[in-house]
Amino acid sequence: MTASNPTDGAPPPRVLLAHHLRQLKLPTFLREYEKVTAEAAREGLDHVRFLLRLVELELIDRERRMVERRIRAARFPAVKSFDTFDFTAIPTLNKSLTLELARCEYVVARDNVITLGNSGTGKTHVCLALGLAACQRGFSVAFVTAAGLVHQLMEARDEKRLLRLQAQLAAVKLLIVDELGYVPLSQIGAELLFEIFSQRHEHGSTIVSSNLPFEEWTSVFGNQRLTGALLDRLTHHVHILELNGESYRLKQSRARRQQAAQPARVIADLEAGETSDR
């Protein structure tokens, strides 16, 4: 009789291991363990070091997956970072404050950030980069435009799910509201947006970007009292980033046009040079 063998009839250990690792949600462990086993044998690693190496791989991968999940959940229109941001192009922007904000201590403190400046100066880029930094540091983020947010809120209100949406928006650690000021809001829209800022006040950080100086925010909200109350909350603990200057887009397209014109000019210069030499 072979019944004395306890493994008889049981699935092979590798199959069981794969099954258990899947159940424990350790995909990297599963993917890497054969390779690490071979490495351990080659390098003469003891069991503890072997396990440690596998566990570390799983941890690193899990962190990466979580950052990716947070980035997807944030719904950024594009993923941008400070690595691709040229601070010399916008001297009015306080570089050291901006990079300090990228460390996300303001998120822990539940402070707000307001980026102000004319169109094309990099406000959205800075908002996206701060949002990305927050995702990388483990904070939940939501990115919306002011008009988009108001639209979402009105729709939720009509469909009687406003409370749920408000709760979701209140729960994220960092809410980024881009482009406040491009579109004037309806009375209801302004009140709904005010409520969001109010609910987040001292509970979570909000970043707002606007092309309008504070004095002109009343034109967006259509109501001086509401604007006053909103600014009061938003600017209670706030870091202000000013981006005033020439539009980066315009500057870039001008540079491109000049570059495109360059070969023609070089030829023209050469020809002029040749003729004058003769």
List of residues contacting ligand ADP (CB under 6 A): 80, 84-86, 89-90, 117, 119-125, 248-249
* DSSP 8-state secondary structure symbol assigned to residue 143: E
The length of the chain is: 278
Q: Supply the minimum distance, in Å, between the C-beta of residue 123 and ligand ADP.
A: 3
Select from 175, 271, 183, 170 the least CA-distant residue to 222. 183
- Of 123 and 200, which CB lies nearer to Mg ion in the complex structure? 123
Q: Supply the minimum distance, in Å, between the C-beta of residue 125 and ligand ADP.
A: 4
Cα–Cα distance list, 132 to 41, 83, 172, 220, 248 (Å): 40, 11, 14, 28, 21
The answer to whether residues 230 and 104 touch, using CB atoms and an 8 Å cutoff, is no
115 forms part of the interface with Mg ion (CB under 5 A): no
211 forms part of the interface with Mg ion (CB under 5 A): no
Quote the CA–CA distance of 14 and 32 in Å, as a whole number: 13
Quote the CA–CA distance of 130 and 176 in Å, as a whole number: 9
Q: Supply the minimum distance, in Å, between the C-beta of residue 122 and Mg ion.
A: 8
Per-residue binding letters, 116-135, with Mg ion (x by CB under 5 A): -------xx-----------
Q: Supply the minimum distance, in Å, between the C-beta of residue 15 and Mg ion.
A: 54
Q: Supply the minimum distance, in Å, between the C-beta of residue 210 and ligand ADP.
A: 10
Binding-site partner at residue 90 among Mg ion, ligand ADP, none, CB < 5 to 8 Å by type = ligand ADP
Nearest residue relative to Mg ion (C-beta): 124
Quote the CA–CA distance of 198 and 150 in Å, as a whole number: 15
- Of 191 and 242, which CB lies nearer to ligand ADP in the complex structure? 242
Residue recorded with tokens 């303001």: 106
Binding-site partner at residue 120 among Mg ion, ligand ADP, none, CB < 5 to 8 Å by type = ligand ADP
Quote the CA–CA distance of 58 and 31 in Å, as a whole number: 10
Binding-site partner at residue 206 among ligand ADP, Mg ion, none, CB < 5 to 8 Å by type = none
- Of 126 and 165, which CB lies nearer to Mg ion in the complex structure? 126
Q: Supply the minimum distance, in Å, between the C-beta of residue 212 and Mg ion.
A: 13
Give me the amino acid identity at 132.
L
Residue 94 tokens read as 């306080």
The answer to whether residues 32 and 54 touch, using CB atoms and an 8 Å cutoff, is yes
Binding-site partner at residue 233 among ligand ADP, Mg ion, none, CB < 5 to 8 Å by type = none
- Of 123 and 173, which CB lies nearer to Mg ion in the complex structure? 123
Residue by residue, DSSP assigns 222-236 as: S-HHHHHHHHHHHTT
The answer to whether residues 65 and 138 touch, using CB atoms and an 8 Å cutoff, is no
- Of 83 and 158, which CB lies nearer to ligand ADP in the complex structure? 83
Which residues contact Mg ion by CB under 5 A?
Answer: 123-124
